[in-house]
Every structure is written in C-alpha cells, then in structure tokens.
Amino acid sequence: MPARMKIILLLLLLCLALTGCRARIIQSALPDAERIESAGEAPGSGQTEADSGENPDRTTENPEARQKEFDENAAVEIVAGTDRTLHGPGEGDGAYTAVVSGQPAARLNADADESARQTVSAPESERMGTAEDAEMADSAFRYYSVLLKERSESLYACKKLNLYFETADDHVTVFKTSDEHQLILDAGAYDVSARLLQENLKVDDGWVCRKNPEIVVKIVSRNILGGGVLSAAPAAAALQALINRPGWQEIEAVKNQRALLLSQDMLEAPHLRLAAGLVIAKTANPEAYADVNLDQALSALTVEATGAAGEGLYYLRLSEI
C-alpha cells in the first residue's frame, strides 16, 4: 500500500476513535457520586460500554446529556446545583482540568453546553460536617475552620478585597510573616501592606488613602473591647475617631461601612483568632456568609475552648453603629 494511502487510513481511524471517546461519560469511583454526562450523544441510543464490547466498569453513555466527561480517578465530585463554578484555564467553554494531590480532579468535555460546578466529594463533606444532610462536625473549631477555609478559597479574585490591618499602635501595620497577615489571607482578603519592609511598618493617612483599602481592621486594647467589656460606647467612639482621620471619608472601606475594631484578645487564643477570621470574612463578603451568625460562632468556640461562654464585646463593625 502506498505511504500516502497509509497516512489517510491512519487519520480516518484517529477521527473515528476521537468521535467515540467524546460521546462517553466516565463515572466517579467515589461512592454514590453523581454521574457527569457528556454532550453529543444522539437521543435514544442508550448504548452502554458493555454493549459495545469495551470495559463495562468505566464508561456508559447518556443520550440526554448536555455536558461533560468525568475522570473515574477524580479526587472531587462534579455536582450540578452547587454554588461555585469551575474557575481556571478553559473557563467559558466547559473545558478544565484541575489537579488535587497530583491526580486529575475533573476533566470536562470542551464541547459541553454548560460549565460544570465543583464541590468536595459527598463522603468528605459528610466527614467534615459541612453538607446539609451530614452529621454534626466533631467540634465547633473543626466546623468553623472548614467553613472559613472552604468559602475563602472558593472566592474569585475579584471578590477578595484589599485590607488595611492596623495594630493597637496607631498607624502601625503588620509584616508579611506575621500571624495577622495570615489571618487576612485566611479570611479571603489581600493585605495592602504585604510589600512593606519590616522596619517600615509605620504609615500615615496619606499612605492609607493612596492604598484605598476596601476593608479596614483596627486592633484595640482590652479596656475598649474584650472579655468583661459590656458597653459598646468606648468602641463606638474609637471607631468613629478612626474613620474621621484626614482623608479617610473617601476610602472605599469607610464609604461602604467595611471598617471594624477587634479586641487584642482575639489575636491571643486559637478559638478567638478563628472567630476574628469569621468576623473579617463576613464583613468583607456578607453574602457569602449570610448563614453564619457571628455571635453564635464566637459563643460556641468560646464554650468549647474554655467551658463557659463568658461575657464581653470582642468586635464592633461600622455597619452596626
């Protein structure tokens, strides 16, 4: 057979192989995971992998599918109706491959009519206590840690706000290796002081106004907020003084009422630091945390850590005065 004919024959076989592959779905190996279906199948075919003589344990066909192809070795599950769309290379035409722990997490058909949505696998969400029908998490700290991590990591870049964090010392911010900087990242925000040198953390109002942060967090002493403080009046006065600094009325954080005070106490115990992250996260993105009651979270974390709820005001937000 002439070489040219061989090349043409090989191309035809390759086209046929690609056409057959695109019409299949691949079932997740996770227990009870919802199957993800691919586009391009003729209605009414109903042919299964077993019927075609191929591996019956890996693929089936769904003639009514409008989208996607799923890797059976995936570490996550693609589930319709969740609140987070896949975000990454190929977004817009349904083609995306994620990697979890070095393994492919999701492989979607480039010709899909819809983008798929991604969530953790059903067994994992039940283990963590975050699914609606899951058993309660083994601790309040575990529950709120998972919730904060999951929701912060699911935010698109455009939803992550620029945050100015000020210590108890006026006009002194934090360094990029500090626990406070990590708290900002954990809450799903960007630290506007991240590029400052450790010896240059003293800033002025002009610097803050040029940065134009979308959220401001200020630490205050224990006589203003903290355990045993029952009146919000001192904190309200301190917060008002903060936003009345020269030029601050024009920054986004003040105009949108995203300024808040945190007690120094909230930086000194793991359960209170987690509560601080929740307060910052909900102030920055209230719609993403609409179901989170901050007072209840703080109370649950405190009772679990200390054995008693205690009394005190630990934070104050501009939107609350």
**Residue 15: its pLDDT value, please?**
58
At residue 196, the pLDDT reads 96
pTM, rounded to two decimals:
0.60
Structural domain 136-320, CATH architecture: 3-Layer(aba) Sandwich (3.40)
Beta bridge mates, 218: 166, 261
**pLDDT beneath 70: ranges in the chain:** 1-137
**pLDDT digits over 186-203, tens only?**
999 999 999 999 999 999
**pLDDT for the residue numbered 104:** 39
Residues 212-250: pLDDT tens digits?
A: 999 999 999 999 999 999 999 999 999 999 999 999 999
Angle at CA 114, nearest 5°, toward 112 and 118?
105
Cα–Cα distance, 20 to 27 (Å, whole number): 16
- Residue 107, amino acid: R
- The token pair at 212 is 């134009």
- Residue 211 burial by Cβ neighbours in a 10 Å radius (0-12, 13-18, 19+): middle
Distances (CA, A) of 97 to 91, 135, 281: 10, 31, 29
Structure confidence at residue 4 (pLDDT): 67
Residues 152/178, Cβ–Cβ less than 8 Å: no
List CB contacts of 78: < 8 A, sequence separation 6 or more.
34, 36, 68, 70, 106, 108, 116, 117, 118, 119
* AA letter at 302: T
According to DSSP, the residues that pair with 162 across neighbouring strands are 190
Question: Do the strands 59-60 and 25-26 form a parallel or antiparallel pair, or are they unpaired?
Answer: antiparallel
Mean pLDDT value across the chain: 73
Cβ count within 10 A of residue 135: 9
DSSP summary character for residue 183? H
Residues 128/80, Cβ–Cβ less than 8 Å = no
Distance CA 163, CA 202 (A): 16
Q: Is 12 exposed, middle or buried (0-12, 13-18, 19+ CB in 10 A)?
A: exposed
Contacts of 55 (CB under 8 A, 6+ apart): 49
pLDDT in the model for residue 281: 98
Q: Which residue has the tokens 């609606």?
A: 132
| Percent of the chain's residues with pLDDT above 70 | 57
Closest CA to 305 of 263, 261, 266: 266
pLDDT at 12: 63
pLDDT for 204 equals: 97
Domain ranges of the chain: 21-119, 136-320
Q: What is the reported pLDDT for 40?
A: 35
Neighbours of 85 (CB within 10 A): 14
Cα–Cα distances in angstroms (integers) from residue 283 to residues 17, 104, 142, in the given order: 53, 35, 21
Are the C-beta atoms of residues 70 and 36 closer than 8 Å to each other?
A: yes
The amino acid that residue 99 corresponds to is V
pLDDT on residue 309: 85
